[in-house]
Chain A
Amino acid sequence: MKRTIPVILSFVFGMIAIVVTVARPEKIQTASLALSNTWQIIFACGLLAGVLAFFMNVLKRIKRKEDLFFDSVLFIGALIMPTLALIDGISPGSLFMWMFENVQAPMQSTVFSLLAFFVASASFRGMRGRSAPAVVLLITAFIVILGRLPVVDSYLPAITDAVLWIREFPSSAAKAGLLVGVGLGFITTTLRVILGVERPYLGER
């Protein structure tokens, strides 16, 4: 029973999702809204479960005293935002929004900006012309990088045209081939999950 019910639920909801996709919108309005609301409720419940799991994990680590200072900072830091939200609300101008705009958002942007440095180091390390295909990749990457420069746009429009050609034809063709393969993988995997052949939610293949 413990293993049968999830498989049945997977099949039923999978079929509902297929019907919602192929039916006329006005015919399945109620089912469509119910499905979208269910989806959002599950997402919210999952988020709650994750946050609780996170706090439990951090408390266990504090108890084990593996890295007491950083785990304590992590725990207190994680509590600050919900505490501010409870005290002052989350409307614009509140302490919560101030922390979000002046602490969290810049921190996120900073980590994202590290990507520029990692692109530089990955390019330095990885973009070497060791073989014929690697040389082709290298030359193409060079042309595309140069084509992004506004000064090249003004004085060497042929490079900009070359970049547009590369994006429109060989790059798009390769991407399309990959996307077709990925799409087919999506279809077969999803069919296997709906039909109960693949049961990852039970820990089985």
Chain B
Amino acid sequence: MGSRQKVFLGLALVMIFAILGPFSSKVTVSEPVQETFDYIESLDSNSVVMVSFDFESSSFPEMKPLASAILEHLFRRNVKVIGLSLFPEGAGLAVGVLERQAKKRDLTYGEDYVFLGMKPQPQAAILGLGQSIAETFPDDYYGTPLDQLPALAGVTNLDSIDAVISVADGDTPSHWISYGKVRYNVTVMAAVAASMMTSFDAYYYGSGDLAGLIGGLRGAAEYELLLGYRGMGSRSLPALSGAHMYLALIILIGNLIGWRTRKRAR
């Protein structure tokens, strides 16, 4: 077994042990997550929020806890939710998450929430939504004309929306900022994969372009803590911590081996 295979095996064992073991992790709420929570907490039943599920199936295990936590909060506040996706795979996955969360609260499709479906090419879609939602999405995901959906009464374009929350595994929130916020002045928040946090926190969140930012499974765990329940984010933390500790150990071992090899060569 080569060294690469040993590294892989070690990580697999650590993750299995962490997932199956009776571990739990405490987490403290960070400022961007608190601001996102506070903003949604300030909304009410007159508010309309657009949730854009901009992810693909590969990152679904990470994005699902984020999407679920945000939808749970929006539905608790009786906010009207307009769901859509700018990725083909995102649409199929998003509708399942939306319906599961709505079912928990006995919400009615068309009155409390709608799902518009998918539109490719994020820039083009956002520009279109800024002009007219009905022209960009003539029907919803199920083929119903938008004028037959009570939740969309009076909602014509991005000017009628209180906020857009982009649940994304890539840089789609930057398109929402460039075209949604800059051109149409809509409030934008983002729930992104952990690997994208560094792209958004200093430039977009730090400059005020993003009103809120939640990142990765840890962000989902923090949000669940604020909502008062233990969901997928919180349950994944032990495995996440175990993997990080293993990485730190692997780097140390690699350097020790390298140092010993160089010493012998001298």
A residues sitting closer than 8 Å to B (CB atoms) are 20, 25, 29, 32-33, 35-37, 39-40, 43-44, 91-92, 97, 100-101, 104-105, 108-109, 111-113, 116-117, 119-121, 123-125, 127-130, 138, 141-142, 145-146, 148-151, 153-154, 167-168, 171-172, 175-176
Contacts and interface: CB of A to CB of B under 8 A. Distances in A.
A159 to B, nearest CB: 12
Interface in B217-266: 218, 237, 240-241, 243-248, 250-251, 253-255, 258
Interface in B173-228: 183-184, 198-199, 201-203, 206, 218
A149 B201 contact: no
Interface in B116-157: 119-121, 123-125, 127-128, 130-132, 135-136, 142
* Interface of B (DSSP majority class): helix
B58 A150 contact: no
Interface size class of B (residues with CB under 8 A): 35 or more
Contacts of A151: 25-26, 241
Nearest to A118: B8
B57 interface: yes
A108 B99 CA distance: 23
B251 A112 contact: no
* Interface of A (DSSP majority class): helix
A130 B130 CA distance: 53
Closest 10 CB pairs of A and B: A36-B124, A105-B57, A172-B202, A112-B58, A108-B58, A150-B25, A108-B57, A124-B254, A128-B258, A39-B124
A148 B57 contact: no
A127 B251 CA distance: 7
Given A97-B92, A171-B198, A40 B206 contact: no
A168 B202 CA distance: 6
Given A25-B130, A120-B11, A150-B27, A142 B248 contact: yes
Contacts of A148: 218, 240, 244
Contacts of B57: 100, 104-105, 108-109
A40 B25 contact: no
A119 B202 CA distance: 24
A109 B61 contact: yes
A148 to B, nearest CB: 5
B130 A120 contact: no
B58 A109 contact: yes
Contact of A121 (B8, B119, B120, B132): B8
Nearest to A107: B57
A127 B25 contact: no
